């Protein structure tokens, strides 16, 4: 085929393919046409005209634009890859709201830099220049790290305020390039939260009812500002306020930190909370009822019914309207019987495939008695017919005392020895505190609280007298037999017993019980004992005799004295222990009582006593065992049962002390060494003293001649160094003295050798340019040519003294130079004058109040104790500083401040008014102060005893002299005053714990033992206190409105039964007849003990001096 012909065919073939491809879109999408917009057509026409007009310029222009674009892209790429200068950025952490605490700690402002930005010389400076806050806030800037700057304010942050942090360029080193020098932050907005809103019933006044709300503010407020923005309104048409009482029906008092310097911010949003005010008919209701089991102090369980009410009422008053009946079983209908049969068949069929393989029985009988079927239970109180209720057996009950006279939780103890249900009714008409009646009968059906199936070893502790009965008392319930496991520990294993256990002496726990337990150190025996079971409800008491287990084995095995005893219920039919009923105890059978005392120098004094005879034990060998069981030290007790051991604080490894072991023939006793559980608990006692009491330790008393100096004065410092036992040879002893200036920089350091007397003198010469402020003088002991222990220090002030050019005089509108003043309409007047007596006009005067809670004490009445009726132990009163703002003096140089002391009318305060008058041209000022005792009380009563009220011997006369005085300290007469003598006793009350369980606790209750009307004349009254019965008493006086006027406590000591706390922690109360004694004086000691026994009395300080 010729080439032209071939090309022709290829062209035709290609054309057909191209035509087919072009038709594909048309076949799929159809015919599509596009017409350019007008603006594009116009641009195309203009371009065509331009191209026809300038055919030679178009092409070069296009090429030029293209080249310029390429050059710009290349330039940007080059510039973007150039090394950039390092910029340091900063971020400001948000300022937090000041936490409301006893001592306010204002939150800091933290500035974080992206890298180190501080000058090296600035890192240790306490205050920095070159950075400031706008607007200004008092405080100091400092670096805490090279990249963290902190501002520590000396006042609180204002609310919702924008602050600018401005840096000067020279604040940073030259190599630091800041991104910018101004940063902004905003403080949190002011907000108020309603934390609590409730109805308050005054427990002492049944006619006083209040709505109490607790508001939590984020910032301080001006007095009266909160009142103007607070509203109390009623929702609905009822009016609960008194008809003659005008709005706003509320008063505002401030709690912790009355922060009164407010910077005028407002809350962004309104807050609102509603409280439903119940009617008289609905105020008092029975809120809930439940039955429970609570154990008394000896572990005995008691059946209780607990009622909760919506209003306070006396438990005894509620008991008058209470009825409790034991309901019979509910009769089952035929339909219920058929349903029960079908259900039981299904259960039996399912139970055929289940087999129990437990070694111990874990039966459903954890509670005594048989179970009642579901169909035999009453569904509710309405389900009980009247005839059934009439036939139900009444159940006796005992109301239990509550912690408060009027309470909302009430417990009643019952005793029901059968399963079943109780019908409880509270009759209507009974009235709660405040005269609120129960409008309807309250009826409820509750289950009889089931007593647990248990076994318990009676008593507390782990010591059993060797010469006594040698028996353990056992209490059990619902058990026909008890199995005892007795693990007798060899006395040669005491070191392992102590070193491998922890916890209480009577209940030790092995640290790794899987690897090491009582099985490794003891011989174990089992013994079973049958119980004469009368019924499943009553407690059965039995005894376990140790006599057979105290004999020394014939094979020379474990010695007697130390036992792990475990008692558990035994199922005689199944021949298995009962898992739910179990108790255990570690028992030490001995006649040796041991008491150890560790002295300040690490030595120990050991005291031994016969438990049976209560006398000291002589010639008893005492070993201090190491961890390996080998004695570290040994001693023999003297005739007083005393022996001493040297310090072993540095003994380590196998010689680490673990226990003191005492042996008296075959009798063995021990006490772990320094185990915390064995130490006496002093948390309830007033103990104090010097921590460092070793006799060889040194003390230094450092003092200055006057304490205040001017720059350029020479300061003389006296130093007295002594040893605590006054027996040291101090001559040549090296000490180092150090002087720190007001910037805390050491400006003088000297080493001196003490003379034999221990007295030395140091001088320091200040200069005219010395910084003013507080200077510190320290004295250190020198050891190995280096500074060692700080022996003592003192401080002195260096101040500039400039002559005053003005005089200021401050006066109060009320004057009471001897007594106290009333806070109502109290004003302070200031008179400011120039040095030559002319009035200082138009001068700025600032003022503030310093208030501190105070007590009444007057020099005109020495030895009298005045009681403040406004004092409340439950309220924590703080010292307060109230800024009163600024005023300008008038033409006479005078101005006044309204102190508004009415806001502090709920307490007695020692007030100090401070006024500061400033010169017109500068910041120099003069200060004037005036002090006064402020109280709203019209009179107070003072008491003066003719002897020590803390220690009054029984039947010995003791009296107090009463006197009443007014604010001017004039004696006045008081009539119609009630004198009460109140006995303080402990009673067991039922309380609900955090876990929801109920338990008995000992609570201090007060009982009026004597009450009578008395007349306090203008000359006073001598009142005789009753001393015929021992105990702790409170004497108080009350006026005709039952307000307490005075209160004092006195204690009568003597032989007799004294009501004590029911807590069995073997606590003793010891009282001395005097607070201090001279050498050779006789000391009389009164001891109040929880039970009869013997003990040890020692006189000790850094060591035991005598016993």
Q: Note the pLDDT tens digit of each residue in 236-286.
A: 555 555 555 555 555 666 555 443 322 233 444 455 555 555 666 678 888
Mean pLDDT of the chain: 80
Q: Above 80 in pLDDT, residue 462?
A: no
Same domain, 16 and 97: no
In a domain, 792, yes or no: yes
Q: Based on the number of CB atoms within 10 Å of its own CB, is 862 exposed (0-12), middle (13-18) or buried (19 or more)?
A: exposed
The answer as to whether 547 is a domain residue is yes
pLDDT of residue 199: 66
Phi then psi dihedrals of residue 288, to 5 deg: -160, 165
Q: When comparing pLDDT for 1073 and 715, which is higher?
A: 715
Q: What is the total count of domains within the chain?
A: 8
At residue 92 the predicted structure's pLDDT band, cuts being 50, 70 and 90, is very high
- 98-124 burial string, b = 16+ CB within 10 Å, else e? beeeeeeebbebebebeeebbbeebee
The predicted pLDDT at position 359 comes to 46
**Could you tell me if 827 and 770 lie in one domain?**
no
Distance CA 893, CA 970 (A): 36
- For residue 276, the model assigns a pLDDT of 54
DSSP 381: G
Task: Pick 963 or 836 by higher pLDDT.
Answer: 963
Separation CA 892–CA 842 (nearest Å): 9
Identify whether residues 1056 and 944 lie together within a single domain: yes
Determine the pLDDT at residue 521.
81
168 and 127 in a common domain: yes
Residue 974: is its pLDDT beyond 60?
yes
Asked if the bond preceding 76 is cis, omega within 30° of 0, the reply is no
State the pLDDT at residue 1094.
78
Q: Are 716 and 619 members of one domain?
A: no
Average pLDDT over residues 826-842: 89
Residue 64 falls within a domain, yes or no? no
Question: Which of 589, 610, 643 corresponds to the end of one domain?
Answer: 589
**Among candidates 449, 716, 453, 420, which has minimal Cα distance to 583?**
453
Query: Does 983 share its domain with 1034?
Result: yes
Whether pLDDT at 690 is above 90:
no
Does 888 or 348 have the greater pLDDT score?
Answer: 888
pLDDT, tens digit, for every residue of 921-965? Answer: 766 788 999 988 888 889 999 999 988 888 888 888 989 999 999
Q: Give the pLDDT mean for 370-382.
A: 68
pLDDT for res 598: 84
Residues spanned by the domain of 750: 698-798
pLDDT at 1063: 44
- pLDDT tens by residue, 174-209: 888 888 899 999 998 888 777 667 666 666 666 666
Task: Kindly state whether residues 581 and 615 are assigned to the same domain.
Answer: no
pLDDT for 556 equals 53
Q: How far is CA 583 from CA 276, 528, 568, 574, in A?
A: 52, 15, 6, 21
Helix (H) or strand (E) run with residue 145 in it: strand 139-145
Domain closes at, from 447, 472, 496: 447
Is 67 contained in some domain? no
292-306, 850-864, 886-900: the lowest-pLDDT one: 292-306
Q: How far is CA 944 from CA 864, 967, 1034, in A?
A: 5, 19, 15
Q: What is the pLDDT of residues 1051-1081, one digit of tens each?
A: 888 765 555 444 444 466 777 777 788 877 8
For residue 676, give the DSSP letter. Answer: G
- Tell whether 344 is covered by a domain: no
End-to-end CA distance of the chain: 142
pLDDT score for 795: 93
Q: Is residue 607 part of a domain?
A: yes
Count Cβ atoms within 10 A of the Cβ of residue 174 and give its class: 0-12 exposed, 13-18 middle, 19 or more buried: exposed
The 10 Å CB-count burial string (b at 16+, else e) for 670-686 is bbbbebeeeeeeeeeee
Q: Is residue 1104 part of a domain?
A: no
Beta-bridge partners for 1005? 985
What was the pLDDT predicted at 833? 92
The band of 779, judged by pLDDT with boundaries at 50, 70 and 90, is very high
* Highest mean pLDDT (candidates 492-496, 722-726, 1007-1011): 1007-1011
| Counts for the chain of helices (H) and strands (E), in that order | 9, 65
375: pLDDT confidence band, cut at 50, 70 and 90?
low
Residues 425 and 289 reside in one and the same domain: yes
The reported pLDDT for the residue numbered 555 is 53
- Asked whether residue 379 carries a pLDDT value surpassing 70, the answer given is yes
pLDDT given at position 202? 63
Query: What span, in angstroms and rounded, lies between the C-alpha atoms of 1104 and 1098?
Result: 7
Confidence of residue 1035 (pLDDT cuts 50, 70, 90): very high
**Across 200-214, 362-376, 378-392, which has the greatest mean pLDDT?**
378-392
Higher-pLDDT residue of 374, 1095: 1095
Whether residue 487 is found in the same domain as residue 463: yes
pLDDT bin (cut points 50, 70, 90) of residue 353 is very low
User: Is 123 domain-assigned?
Assistant: yes
Which CATH number covers residue 1037?
2.60.40.1930
Q: What is the DSSP string of 33-95?
A: -----HHHHHHHHHHHHHHHH-HHHHHHHHHHHHHHHHHHHHHHHHHHTSPPPP-B-EEEPPP
Sort strands 393-394 and 397-399 into parallel, antiparallel or unpaired: unpaired
Give dist(CA 689, CA 739) in Å, integer.
29
* CATH number of the structural domain spanning residue 459: 2.60.40
Say what the pLDDT of residue 554 is.
61
Nearest CA to 119 out of 183, 176, 166, 167 is that of 176
- With cut-offs at 50, 70 and 90, classify the pLDDT of residue 352: very low
Domain-ending residue, one of 650, 678, 706: 678
One domain for residues 870 and 722:
no
What angle, rounded to 10 degrees, do the helices at 38-53 and 55-80 form? 110
Contact 437, 284 (CB under 8 A): yes
Judge if 466 and 583 occupy the same domain. Answer: yes
Q: What CATH number is attached to the domain comprising 836?
A: 2.60.40.10
* pLDDT value at residue 964: 92
| Residue 209 confidence (pLDDT) | 64
Residue 457 has pLDDT above 50, yes or no: yes
Give the pTM.
Answer: 0.56
Omega of the bond prior to 248 within 30 degrees of 0, cis? yes
- Per residue in 596-630, pLDDT (tens digit) is 888 877 888 989 988 888 889 888 899 998 888 88
Residues 306 and 432 in one domain: yes
């Amino acid at each position: 085929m010729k080439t032209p012909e071939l090309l022709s065919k290829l062209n035709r073939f290609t054309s057909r393919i191209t035509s087919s491809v072009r038709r594909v879109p048309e076949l799929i999408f159809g015919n599509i046409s596009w017409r350019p917009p007008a603006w594009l057509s116009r641009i195309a026409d203009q371009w065509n005209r331009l191209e026809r007009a300038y055919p030679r310029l178009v092409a070069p222009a296009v090429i030029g634009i293209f080249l310029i674009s390429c050059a710009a892209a290349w330039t940007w790429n080059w510039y973007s890859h150039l090394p950039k200068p390092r910029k340091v950025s900063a971020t400001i952490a948000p300022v937090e709201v000041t936490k409301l605490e006893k001592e306010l700690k204002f939150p800091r402002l933290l500035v974080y830099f992206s890298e180190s930005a501080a000058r090296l010389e600035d890192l240790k400076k306490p205050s920095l220049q070159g950075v400031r806050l706008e607007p200004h806030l008092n405080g100091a800037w400092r670096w805490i790290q090279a990249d963290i700057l902190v501002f520590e304010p000396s006042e609180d942050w204002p609310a919702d305020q924008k602050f600018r942090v401005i840096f000067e360029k020279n604040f940073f080193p030259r190599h630091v390039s800041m991104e910018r020098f101004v940063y902004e932050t905003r403080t949190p907005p002011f907000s108020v939260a309603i934390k609590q809103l409730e109805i308050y019933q005054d427990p002492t006044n049944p006619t006083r009812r209040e709505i109490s709300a607790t508001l939590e503010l984020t910032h301080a407020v001006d007095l009266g500002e909160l009142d103007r923005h607070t509203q109390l309104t009623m929702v609905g048409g009822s009016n609960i306020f008194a008809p003659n009482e005008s709005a706003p029906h509320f008063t505002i008092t401030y709690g912790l930190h009355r922060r009164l310097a407010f910077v005028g911010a407002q809350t962004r949003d309104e807050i609102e909370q509603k409280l439903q005010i119940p009617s008289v008919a609905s105020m008092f209701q029975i809120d809930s009822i439940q039955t429970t089991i609570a154990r008394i102090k000896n572990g005995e369980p008691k059946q209780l019914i607990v009622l909760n009410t919506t209003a306070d009422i006396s438990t005894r008053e509620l008991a008058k309207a209470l009825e409790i009946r034991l309901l019979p079983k509910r009769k089952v209908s035929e339909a219920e019987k058929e349903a029960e049969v079908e259900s039981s068949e299904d259960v039996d069929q399912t139970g055929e495939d289940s087999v129990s393989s437990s070694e111990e029985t874990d039966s459903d009988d954890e509670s005594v008695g048989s179970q009642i079927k579901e169909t035999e239970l009453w569904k509710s109180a309405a389900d009980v017919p009247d005839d059934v209720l009439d036939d139900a057996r009444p159940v006796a009950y005992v109301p239990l005392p509550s912690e408060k006279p009027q309470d909302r939780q009430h417990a009643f103890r019952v005793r029901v020895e059968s399963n079943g249900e109780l019908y409880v009714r509270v009759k209507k008409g009974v009235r709660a505190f405040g005269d609120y009646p129960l409008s309807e009968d309250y009826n409820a059906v509750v289950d009889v609280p089931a007593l647990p199936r248990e076994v318990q070893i009676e008593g507390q502790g782990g010591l059993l007298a060797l010469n006594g009965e040698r028996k353990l008392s056992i209490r059990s319930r619902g058990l026909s037999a008890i199995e005892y496991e007795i693990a007798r520990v060899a006395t040669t294993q005491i070191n392992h017993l102590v070193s491998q256990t922890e916890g209480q002496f009577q209940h030790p726990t092995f640290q790794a019980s899987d690897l090491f337990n009582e099985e490794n150190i003891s011989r174990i025996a089992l013994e079973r004992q049958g119980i004469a079971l009368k019924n499943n409800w009553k407690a059965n008491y039995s005894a376990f005799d140790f006599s057979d287990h105290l004999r020394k084995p014939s094979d020379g095995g474990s010695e007697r004295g130390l036992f792990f005893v475990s008692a558990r219920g035994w199922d005689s039919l199944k021949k298995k222990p009962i898992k739910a009923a179990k108790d255990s105890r570690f028992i030490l059978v001995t006649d040796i009582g041991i008491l150890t005392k560790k002295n300040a120098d690490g030595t120990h004094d050991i005291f031994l006593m016969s438990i049976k005879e209560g006398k000291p034990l002589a010639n008893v060998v005492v070993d201090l065992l190491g961890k390996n069981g080998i004695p570290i030290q040994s001693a023999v007790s003297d005739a007083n049962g005393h022996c001493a051991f040297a310090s072993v604080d540095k003994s380590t490894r196998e010689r680490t002390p673990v226990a003191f072991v005492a042996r008296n023939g075959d009798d063995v006793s021990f006490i772990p060494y320094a185990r915390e559980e064995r130490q006496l608990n002093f948390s309830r006692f007033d103990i104090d003293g010097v921590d460092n009491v070793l006799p060889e330790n040194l003390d230094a008393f450092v003092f200055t001649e006057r304490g205040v100096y001017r720059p350029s004065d020479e300061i003389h410092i006296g130093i007295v160094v002594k040893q605590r036992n006054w027996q040291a040879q101090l001559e040549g002893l090296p000490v180092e003295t150090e002087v720190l200036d007001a910037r805390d920089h050491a400006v003088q350091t000297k080493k001196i050798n003490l003379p034999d007397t221990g007295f030395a003198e140091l001088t320091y010469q200040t200069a005219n340019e010395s910084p003013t402020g507080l200077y510190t003088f320290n004295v250190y002991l020198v050891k190995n040519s280096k500074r060692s222990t700080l022996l003592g220090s003192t401080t002195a002030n260096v101040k500039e003294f400039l002559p005053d050019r003005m005089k200021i005089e401050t006066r109060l509108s009320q004057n009471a130079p001897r007594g106290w003043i009333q806070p109502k309409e109290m004003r302070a007047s200031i008179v400011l004058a120039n040095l030559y007596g002319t009035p200082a006009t138009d001068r700025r005067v600032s003022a503030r109040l310093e208030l501190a809670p105070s007590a009444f004490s007057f020099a005109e009445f020495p030895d009298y104790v005045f009681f403040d009726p406004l004092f409340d132990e439950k309220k924590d009163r703080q010292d307060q500083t109230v800024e009163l703002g600024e005023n300008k003096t008038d033409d006479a140089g005078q101005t006044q401040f309204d102190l508004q002391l009415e806001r502090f009318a709920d307490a007695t305060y020692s007030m100090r008014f401070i006024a500061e008058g400033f010169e017109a041209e500068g910041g120099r000022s003069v200060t004037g102060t005036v002090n006064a005792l402020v109280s709203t009380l019209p009179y107070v009563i003072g008491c003066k005893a003719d002897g020590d009220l803390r220690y009054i011997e029984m039947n010995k006369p003791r009296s107090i002299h009463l006197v009443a005085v007014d604010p001017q300290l004039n004696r006045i007469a008081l009539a119609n005053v009630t004198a009460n003598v109140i006995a303080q006793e402990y009673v067991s009350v039922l309380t609900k714990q955090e876990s929801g369980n109920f338990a008995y606790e000992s609570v201090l209750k007060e009982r009026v033992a004597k009450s009578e009307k008395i007349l306090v004349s203008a000359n006073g009254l001598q009142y005789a206190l009753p001393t015929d019965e021992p105990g702790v008493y409170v004497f108080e006086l009350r006026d005709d409105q039952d307000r307490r006027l005075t209160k004092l406590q006195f204690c009568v000591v003597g032989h007799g039964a004294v009501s004590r706390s029911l807590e069995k922690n073997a606590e003793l109360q010891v009282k001395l007849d005097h607070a201090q004694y001279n050498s050779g004086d006789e000391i009389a000691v009164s001891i109040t003990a929880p039970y009869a026994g013997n003990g040890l009395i020692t006189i000790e300080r850094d060591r035991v001096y005598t016993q």
